[in-house]
Amino acid sequence: MSKGVKMADEKKLMKALADAILSYDSAAAEAAAKEAIKRGLDPLEAIEKGLSPAIEEVGKKFEKMEIYLPELMLAADAMRSSMSLLLPLIPKGKALSKGTVVIGTVQGDIHEIGKNIVSNMLMANGFEVVDLGVDVKTSAFVDEARKSNAKIIGASALMSSTIGSQKDIVDYLTSMKVRKKHAVMVGGGPTTGEWSKEIGADGWGEDAATTVKLANRLVKRK
């Protein structure tokens, strides 16, 4: 229990955080996080006991086809609204991030919606995400991954004319002799599991939900 917060209050604050996620309400999530901070709730506990079980419940509803992608995105947005206030208050070393993912759409390609969905979902599921945007040079993916000590690089491509850049990222990592430091996951319309294997990537995300599962596997592997 957080110091100085009564059990009944703590329950109420946790419930407000969870309810905000379960009702896909970003404004409520922000307000609940502010209230929790004001009332002295331990931010780590707020995330672990308030927000995380709620986002897990949303994930389960999605698995059972009770909700669709738009609800999942809204829940992720609400999660981020709370997390952006709570995370900075957690002392370094105590952070609960699963690891950093550097993500972007490859060079020559400006399609970003799929990448943004994945980026949001990864954040909501406890990853730190550095989103480099669109039309990202191969070297920029690798430089950022090295700088932020990212466990994973996520490369998105929507056109058959640009998926070759995903291979370039793998090759570049190999040539820099840092291939084992950063797992590479690829995704986007024309990509396939076979393509991922062929270029020596570490996995293929068919959609946002499977990409989060893939990222969970890849960070455990390290």
Partner 1 sequence: MSSFAERFRVMEPKDFIKDSDRKKIHSAALDVMETTGVKVLSAVARESLKRAGAVVDEKTNIVSFPTDLVESLLKKIPSKIVLAGRTEEYDLPLDRRHQYHTTDGCGISVWDNKAQTRRESTLEDIRKTAVLSDWLPYLSIYEPMVVAHDMPSKSHVLMGLKTAMENTSKHIETESTTTADEARAQVEMAAAVVGSKDELKERHYLSAMVCTVSPLILDGGATDAAMVWAENHVPVHITGMASMGLTGPATVAGSLVVNHAETMALACAMQAHEPCSPILYGSVQSSMDPRTGAYNSGAPETILISIGDVEMAKYLGLPCSAGGIGGSARIPGLRVSIENSILTSPLVTAGSEVMNGIGLADGSTLLSYEQMMLDHEIVALALNSQRDIEINDETLALDVIKKVGIGKNYLSEMHTVKRVRDFYLPMLWDMSPFEAWVEGGKKDLMEVAGEKASKVISEHKPEKLDAEVSRTLTKVVDDF
Interface ranges with partner 1 (CB under 8 A): 62, 65, 68-70, 108, 110-111, 113-114, 117, 159-161, 163-164, 189-190, 192, 194-195, 198, 206-209
Residue 107 has which token pair?
A: 């060079």
Question: Is 128 or 195 the residue whose CB approaches partner 1 more closely?
Answer: 195
Q: How far is the CB of 44 from partner 1 (least distance, A)?
A: 32
Q: Which residues pair with 152 in a beta bridge?
A: 101, 183
Angle between helices 52-63 and 208-221 (to 10 degrees): 120
Question: Is 2 or 105 the residue whose CB approaches partner 1 more closely?
Answer: 105
Question: Is 7 or 65 the residue whose CB approaches partner 1 more closely?
Answer: 65
Q: Choose among 101, 96, 95: nearest CA to 129.
A: 101
Q: What angle do CA 102, 72, 81 make, to 5 degrees?
A: 65
Q: How far is the CB of 58 from partner 1 (least distance, A)?
A: 14
Angle between helices 26-38 and 69-86 (to 10 degrees): 20
Q: How far is CA 130 from the centre of its chain?
A: 9
Question: Is 56 or 206 the residue whose CB approaches partner 1 more closely?
Answer: 206
Q: How far is the CB of 39 from partner 1 (least distance, A)?
A: 38
Q: How far is the CB of 32 from partner 1 (least distance, A)?
A: 28
